[in-house]
């Protein structure tokens, strides 16, 4: 069922007297809209004239108060689908964020509340949902709470329900929102310093060398890496502005794009905190300069077919890379060099360890990685205790360049953290 909630802002109303309707009693409500059109709703099924009269009085009171529900017979699953298309799709900039909302609704909300009428949902239903999801995953519970709160507020605004049933309903204590969410890094899914060096050296002979550097030594996300341009580089101060990513724009259609370009659109970053300026390590800076030489050579060589878009990570024809381009090369790198079979995204965790091992402020690490309100800690397990202590000398210059200088560090600490946490304490 496709919902049409465009007629919710009535300007006048009329309520008929109680009348017999199909051997019982009821009344009709006429809603009059700005364009002069009417929506007539029948309220029937009352056993006695007195019951119908009481319901009529209640309706009149709601109409006067502005709390009258125009659309009361809607299932939760129907409403959430409508909300995704009519509200969220138009408001969020990231396809990934939209996909997260859609996936949360499909997997975690619809199976529990989807078959209920939205007007029948109460605080108890919401609390049970939160409790159940908190047992499943604290992270999932927080996303569910966000989705429920936003969607119910929208439902109130659309006169689907008179009030938000999720208002003031809290997550269980174990999942309650703190001032700063703690993101734990599983040290079993990071590389040792020796393994990092192996990966960096081995990647030199692959098309994903720059991608590996921007991930391991600068902590950029996959989409951010593909979206970085030479124009984002401050060659004087050796900093990089992260200000876009490549992906799919919400609401766009594959048919509207040239072949192999649909998933390579420039889109907004994940959150406002994802927009950041970060220092470039010497090793990465030199690689960028070398990549720029190659870029210019290819542009001259292929003057008629080269797409001069300015991407640092691009094909020999200047075309942007797809989100999956790195995958085959990355997996081969791991296998050929006897490295742990960790995810590409886990390399960002390795970047964190480079910073945290140097007692770098965990809040400042969050800023460099583009996290919003997150404190980064490390989960350290048995045999991996020595990972942060074992520093390969050859990598030390890279690490030092990743870290801002003392003055920059103090600024970050002053701006973003009241208490400086010593990363070594996580190892004790």
Residues 191 and 295 in one domain: yes
Q: Based on the fold, state whether residues 340 and 285 are members of the same structural domain.
A: yes
User: Does residue 71 belong to any structural domain of this protein?
Assistant: no
> Has residue 7 been placed in a domain?
no
Q: What is the pLDDT of residues 109-163, one digit of tens each?
A: 999 999 999 989 999 999 999 999 998 888 889 899 999 999 999 988 887 888 8
Sign (positive or negative) of CA dihedral 160, 163, 167, 171: negative
pLDDT of residue 90: 80
Q: What is the CATH number of the domain that holds 323?
A: 1.10.443.10
Assess if residue 330 is contained within a domain.
yes
Partners of residue 26 on adjacent β-strands = 19
- Asked if residue 383 and residue 261 are part of one domain, the reply reads yes
CB count in 10 Å sphere of residue 71: 20
Per-residue pLDDT of the chain (428 residues; tens, 9 = 90+): 566 665 456 788 999 999 999 999 999 999 988 888 888 989 999 999 999 999 999 999 989 887 888 877 789 999 999 999 888 888 876 677 888 899 999 999 999 999 999 989 999 999 999 999 998 888 889 899 999 999 999 988 887 888 899 998 999 876 555 444 444 545 556 787 788 889 999 999 899 999 999 988 888 888 999 999 999 999 999 999 999 988 877 766 777 677 777 778 888 887 777 888 988 888 899 999 999 999 999 999 998 999 999 999 999 999 999 888 999 999 999 999 999 888 888 887 777 666 655 544 445 555 555 555 443 343 433 233 333 333 333 344 444 444 444 444 444 333 333 333 333 333 33
Verify that 236 and 282 share a domain, yes or no. yes
> Which of 161, 177, 193 is the last residue before a domain boundary?
177
In the block, residue with structure tokens 């991608």: 211
Number of domains in the chain: 3
Cα separation of 217 and 279, whole Å? Answer: 10
Residues 355 and 389 grouped into a single domain: yes
* Residues 135 and 227 placed together within one structural domain of the fold: no
Residues 195 and 331 in one domain: yes
Q: Which of 134, 151, 177 is the endpoint of a domain?
A: 177
Whether 159 is covered by a domain: the verdict is yes
Residue at 47 is within a domain:
yes
| Cβ-contact 277, 259 below 8 angstroms | no
pLDDT of residue 123: 94
CA distance 89 to 99: 10
Give the SS3 label for residue 181: strand
Residue-range definition of the domain harbouring residue 103: 76-177
| Residues 234 and 357 reside in one and the same domain | yes
**Cα–Cα dist 225/311, whole Å:** 9
**Residue 318 CB: number of other CB atoms within 10 A?**
17
Task: Give pLDDT tens digits for 355-381.
Answer: 655 544 445 555 555 555 443 343 433
Does residue 272 sit in the same domain as residue 348? yes
Residues 227 and 258 in one domain: yes
Tell me which of 129, 155, 177 is where a domain ends. Answer: 177
Query: The domain spanning residue 171 has which CATH number?
Result: 1.10.150.130
> Considering the domain boundaries, does residue 5 fall inside one?
no
DSSP one-letter string for 333-401: HHHHTT-----TTHHHHHHHHHHHTTT--HHHHHHHHT-SSEEEEEE--GGGGGTTT---GGGHHHHHH
Residue 1 lies in a domain: no
Same-domain check for residues 56 and 92? no
> Which of 332, 303, 307, 333 lies closest to 318 in space, CA to CA?
307
CB neighbour burial string for 196-211, b if at least 16 within 10 angstroms, e if fewer: bebbbebbeebebbbb
pLDDT of residue 423: 35
User: Which pTM was predicted?
Assistant: 0.55
In a domain, 55, yes or no: yes
Q: What pLDDT is stored for residue 389 in this prediction?
A: 30
Asked whether residue 332 falls in the same domain as residue 242, the answer is: yes
d(CA 173, CA 66): 36
């Amino acid at each position: 069922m496709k919902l049409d909630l465009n007629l919710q802002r009535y300007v006048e109303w009329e309520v008929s007297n109680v009348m017999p309707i199909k051997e019982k009693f009821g009344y009709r409500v006429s809603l009059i809209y700005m364009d002069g059109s009417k929506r007539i709703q029948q309220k029937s099924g009352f056993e006695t004239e007195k019951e119908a009269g009481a319901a009529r009085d209640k309706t009149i009171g709601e109409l006067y108060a502005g709390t009258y529900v125009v659309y009361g017979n809607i299932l939760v699953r129907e409403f959430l689908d409508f909300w995704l298309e009519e509200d969220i799709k138009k408001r969020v900039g990231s396809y990934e964020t939209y996909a997260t909302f859609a996936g949360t609704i499909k997997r975690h909300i619809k199976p529990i509340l989807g078959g209920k009428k939205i007007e029948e949902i109460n605080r108890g239903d919401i609390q049970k949902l939160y409790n159940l999801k908190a047992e499943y995953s604290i992270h999932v519970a927080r996303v569910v709470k966000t989705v429920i709160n936003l969607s119910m507020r929208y439902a109130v605004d659309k006169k689907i329900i008179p009030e938000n049933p999720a208002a003031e309903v809290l997550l269980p204590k174990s999942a309650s929102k703190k001032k700063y969410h703690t993101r734990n890094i599983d040290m079993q899914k990071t590389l040792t310093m020796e393994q990092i060096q192996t990966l960096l050296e081995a990647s030199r002979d692959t098309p994903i060398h720059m991608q590996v550097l921007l991930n391991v030594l600068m902590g950029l996300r996959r989409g951010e890496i593909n979206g970085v341009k030479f124009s984002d580089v401050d060659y004087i101060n050796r900093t990089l502005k992260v200000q876009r990513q490549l992906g799919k724009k919400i609401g766009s259609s594959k048919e509207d794009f040239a072949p192999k370009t649909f998933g390579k659109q420039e889109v907004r970053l994940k959150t406002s905190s994802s927009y950041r300026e970060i220092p470039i390590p010497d090793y990465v800076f030199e690689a960028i300069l070398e990549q720029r030489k190659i870029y210019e050579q290819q542009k001259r060589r292929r003057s008629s077919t080269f797409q001069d878009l300015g991407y640092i990570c691009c094909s020999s024809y200047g075309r942007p890379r797809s989100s999956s381009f790195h995958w085959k090369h990355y997996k081969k790198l791991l296998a050929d060099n006897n490295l742990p079979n960790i995810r590409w995204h886990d390399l960002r965790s390795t970047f964190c360890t480079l910073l945290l091992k140097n007692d770098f402020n965990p809040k400042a690490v969050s800023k460099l990685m583009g996290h919003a309100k997150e404190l980064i800690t490390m989960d350290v397990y048995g045999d991996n205790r020595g990972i942060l202590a074992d520093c390969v000398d050859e990598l030390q210059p890279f690490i030092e360049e990743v870290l801002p200088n003392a003055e920059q560090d103090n600024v970050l600490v002053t701006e973003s953290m009241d208490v400086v946490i010593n990363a070594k304490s996580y190892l004790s």
